[in-house]
């Protein structure tokens, strides 16, 4: 189990209930397959991490970063987190809060361009899922 581990359910719910204005604006355009027919989920658990939005078909995570992500420690943690997620065969694309709020059309256009031009990772094992991460235990716990 890589997605939505039970022990992080309340945390995911809290994040959904306390979404930033930028996350709410972007979600309005991603929900209910409005974005080119792709299904997105919000506050999706991937291992011990939670991404803002996730499209299972594209294996694509979208992160919307606020000012708390711009100091050195947070950037280092974000880099490690993103590398771990990418090792699971999931692409990550990031936008800043102010980008979403000031240039939503541009963000959506860049997202669509990224989707069209970046190959979706594919895996032949276990119904298309990547091999289990060595850092996860047998039952998906870290």
Q: What does the pLDDT read at residue 73?
A: 83
pLDDT at 124 over 60: no
Give the Cα separation of 25 and 90 in Å (integer). Answer: 23
The larger pLDDT score, comparing residue 95 to residue 127, is at 95
Q: What is the CATH number of domain 6-122?
A: 3.40.960.10
Cβ atoms of 39 and 57 within 8 Å: the answer is yes
Question: What average pLDDT does the chain have?
Answer: 85
Cβ-based neighbours of 55, under 8 Å, separated by 6 or more: 38, 39, 40, 41, 62
pLDDT at 128 over 90: no
Q: What does the pLDDT read at residue 1?
A: 65
Q: What does the pLDDT read at residue 137?
A: 30
The larger pLDDT score, comparing residue 88 to residue 131, is at 88
Residue ranges of domains in the chain: 6-122
Q: What does the pLDDT read at residue 66?
A: 84
pLDDT digits (tens, 9 = 90+) for 112-121: 999 999 988 7
| Cα distances (angstroms) measured from residue 141 to each of 77, 127, 138 | 20, 21, 7
Q: What does the pLDDT read at residue 123?
A: 57
């Amino acid at each position: 189990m890589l997605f939505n581990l039970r022990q992080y359910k309340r945390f995911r719910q809290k994040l959904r209930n306390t979404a930033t204005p930028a996350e709410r604006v972007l979600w309005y355009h991603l929900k209910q397959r409005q974005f080119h027919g792709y299904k997105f989920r919000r506050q999706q658990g991937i291992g011990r991490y939670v991404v803002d939005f996730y499209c299972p078909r594209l294996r694509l995570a979208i992160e919307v970063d606020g000012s708390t992500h711009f100091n050195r420690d947070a950037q280092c943690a974000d880099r490690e987190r993103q590398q771990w997620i990418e090792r699971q065969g999931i692409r990550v694309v990031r936008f800043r809060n102010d980008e979403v709020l000031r240039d939503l059309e541009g963000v959506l256009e860049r997202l669509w361009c990224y989707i069209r031009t970046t190959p979706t990772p594919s895996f032949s094992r276990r119904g298309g899922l990547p091999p289990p991460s060595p850092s996860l235990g047998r039952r998906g716990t870290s």
